[in-house]
Structure 1
Amino acid sequence: MINVGVLGATGAVGQRFVQLLANHPWFRLTTLTASERSAGKRYQDVVNWRLDVPFPEEVGSLVVEPTNVSAVSDLDIVFSALPADIATTLETDIAAAGVGVCSNASSHRMDSDVPLVVPEVNPDHLGLIDVQRDRGTDGFIVANPNCSTIVLCLSLAPLMPFGFSHLTVATMQAISGAGFQGIPAMEIYDNVVPYIGSEEEKMEREPLKIMGSFDGSEIRDAPFKVSASCHRVPVIDGHTMAVWADTPAPVAEVIEAYRTYAPPISGLPHLPAESVHYTDESTRPQPRLDRNRGGGMTVSVGRMREGLRYVAMGHNTIRGAAGASVLNAELIVSKKYV
């Protein structure tokens, strides 16, 4: 078994990490960290469990550690649910101490030597771990993209062979993406907020790196552009987006490509049976009906029309956050980096 820990285990994404790792077949969850006020107490006594699944009692008695390098230096992998301002330095220090970091934070996503990975899309980008290790440490950082970027990139995977030069995407993003305390009730009830700080910039930059080519030493950006408009809507979980791609591909051929799509990886515990599910129903996908498909790891696509236009939806805290990092770690182990 591989010993792992979670940085920031009491927050929204941290709780998802704990849920997904509590009974993992490959990983043994031994360490949970949080703020100083929680350190030294049992996890079950400090966490305000808010997920729609039962609390994993088997980790309740773990004593929470302070969030620092020494707390995790004896682990094989740590999963980071830290805010970006804290993660920037701490993740670097943990990697320098010889520990693998699978990060949900935005701090290092665009660093030239950090792979920004969606396992079904760009597993070869893990080769950047070797570039990091050339600096003389066994540790490394592997980042997963922004939650909405992951949904977009998975929805694009079957479309890539047809080619396109410009994407336009309009998102309708769930409130859980802002964290438990992220958006006041009076701001989102009966409302749509047409702005999410830095979200559009992430969606316009990150897909170019993810869909880019790895030449053994660096990533060359994919040759297309993305225009994004991001909106917060009163949905608890599940990011929905409308996508326009300037490809002349016939709709029937594109739909068949979605139905027959198979990712270039297999055998990972959290890899769903369908990474991308295509639905013919004219009113789908919908967050409430489709977000938990594949244990929350499947991205659903529908309403494919000439133009080319479609709708995509995925669970933002599972597929778009904690589940993405866990799947990255499983890929890392399968490639024998740990």
Structure 2
Amino acid sequence: MERRNVGILGATGMVGQRFIQLLAQHPWFEITWIAASDRSAGKTYAEACRWKLDTPLPPRIAAMTLQPNVPEGSAVELPKIIFAALDADIARELEPKFAAVGCAVISNSSAFRMTTDVPLVVPEVNADHLPLIEHQSWRKENGGKGGYIVTNPNCSAIGLVLALKPLEEKFGIESLFVSTMQAVSGAGYPGVASLDILGNVVPFIKNEEEKMQEEVVKLLGAAKGDHVEMLDARLTAHCNRVAVEDGHTECISIKLRKPATFDEIVAAWEGFKPLEGQHLPSAPDSPVEYDHAVDRPQPRLDRMRGKGMTTVVGRLRPCSLLDWKFVLLSHNTIRGAAGAAILNAEVLARLGKFETKKKVLA
């Protein structure tokens, strides 16, 4: 696999920091360009960023100069692969500009997730949606080798669809009831004020319920040429912010289209390994793990399974309202954000969708 130069938009935010942490030793990608807002451009990364992660800021990145968050006017050559960690309003303006100059924009933003020709992808779930990029106007330029945008879902939707995909394949899904307990890191930094969240639960996260309800049916839908036919299932979500640092917990009740036993459902999860053999650096050995303990999963104990890329499921039991109910946990800033985008980029690299090469690895 060729080693490729990459850039990061929104590099100083919480997701931008996760990108830097996860890419610092990545075997396929090398960070050569980082950008932030006008107030930070021109400063070194160390000067502009309040590093909040539990590993040291890489010295090479600390010394790099932040560039303007536009394709023009950079003092450093713009790489053709851009990881974007921007607020939706800013992403809506900036991401098309980078695609228009030929960049592959691998976005964590919600701005274009529901756009018809933009793939919304979790590779284990719907990598077959990636050909949608060929219908984007930017891609059609330069003989079909132009830029494009690929998105990953909302942090609360990713863990959910990983658990749902094997059930949809084997039994079908008719309806879902989901209630989330979402970590404060999902709100970024400084995020939720301590006096609002300590000893408290906030039963509102702006647009979160709508995102879950829209994105899940697109992720589990079928790609049909230039669009996706949404999954024919009903979903309702309650989204809550809780005083947990990292790791989103979700309680799900599900009605299946075909009857299934406890053992059949667990076997579906444990046998779900669609990326096995592809040797993608960020892909976990098991995207879904079932924990038989009566009190698991728990964020403190289980969020780093599979280096933060595995969804942990537990407490499967009959539901008196629907068919079954269970609990799941996923790391919201690794699998739910930066790690998800990096895995998307790895799949795109395997598919030959990056034209820019730096050097061949030994």
What is aligned with 1:318?
A: 334
Give TM-score, length-normalised by structure 2.
0.91
Whole-angstrom CA distance in 2 between matches of 1:109 and 1:134 = 17
Asked if residue 293 in structure 1 is aligned to residue 305 in structure 2, the reply is yes
Matched, 1:279 2:291: yes
The AA in structure 2 aligned to 1:324 is A
Q: Which residue of 1 aligns with 2:360?
A: none
Distance, in Å, in 1 between the alignment partners of 2:78 and 2:35 is 14
Counterpart residue identity of residue 263, structure 2:
A
* Distance apart, 1:37 and its partner CA: 2.0
CA–CA separation in structure 2 for the residues paired with 1:11 and 1:146: 16
Q: In structure 1, list runs of 5 or more residues that go unmatched.
A: none
1:134 Cα deviation from its structure 2 partner? 5.6
Q: 2:115 aligns with which of 111, 114, 138?
A: 111
Instruction: Say whether 1:189 aligns with 2:193.
Output: no
Aligned to 1:227, the other structure's residue is in SS state strand
> In the alignment, which residue of structure 2 is the partner of 1:51?
53
For residues 191 and 159 of structure 2, what CA distance do their matches in structure 1 show? 21
Rounded Cα–Cα distance in structure 1 between residues aligned with 2:280 and 2:139: 27
What's the offset of the Cα at 1:61?
Answer: 1.2
Is 1:102 the equivalent of 2:106?
A: yes
User: Do residues 254 (structure 1) and 265 (structure 2) align?
Assistant: yes
Alpha-carbon shift at residue 56 of structure 1 (Å): 1.5
Worse overlay, 320-329 or 70-79: 70-79
Identity of aligned residues (%): 49
- 8 A Cα contact 2:125 2:219, kept in partner: yes
In structure 1, how many angstroms separate the alpha carbons of the residues matched to 2:343 and 2:275?
A: 14
User: Do the aligned residues in 1 keep the contact of 2:184 with 2:241 (CA within 8 Å)?
Assistant: yes
In 2, Cα distance between equivalents of 1:93 and 1:239? 33
Q: Is the 8 A contact 1:297 1:318 kept in 2?
A: yes
1:181 Cα deviation (Å)?
1.6
**Are residue 176 (structure 1) and residue 180 (structure 2) matched?**
no
Q: Please name the residue that 1:22 is paired with.
A: 24
Supply the RMSD in Å over aligned alpha carbons: 1.3
2:348 maps to what in 1?
332
Offset at 1:312? Answer: 0.6
Q: How many residues align?
A: 338
Indicate the SS of the match to 1:24: coil
CA distance in 2, matches of 1:79, 1:94: 11
Contact conserved, 2:299 with 2:329, CA < 8 A, in 1? yes
- Equivalents in 2 of 1:27, 1:236: separation in Å? 28
Paired AA for residue 81 in structure 1? A
1:122-271 alignment, distance < 5 Å: 122-132=126-136, 135-136=140-141, 138-160=146-168, 161-247=170-256, 248-264=259-275, 266-271=278-283
Cα deviation per residue 1:170-204 (whole Å; 9 max; x = unaligned)? 00000000011221111100001111110000000
How far, CA to CA, are the matches of 1:80 and 1:105 in structure 2? 7
TM-score (norm 1): 0.97
Paired amino acid for 2:166: P
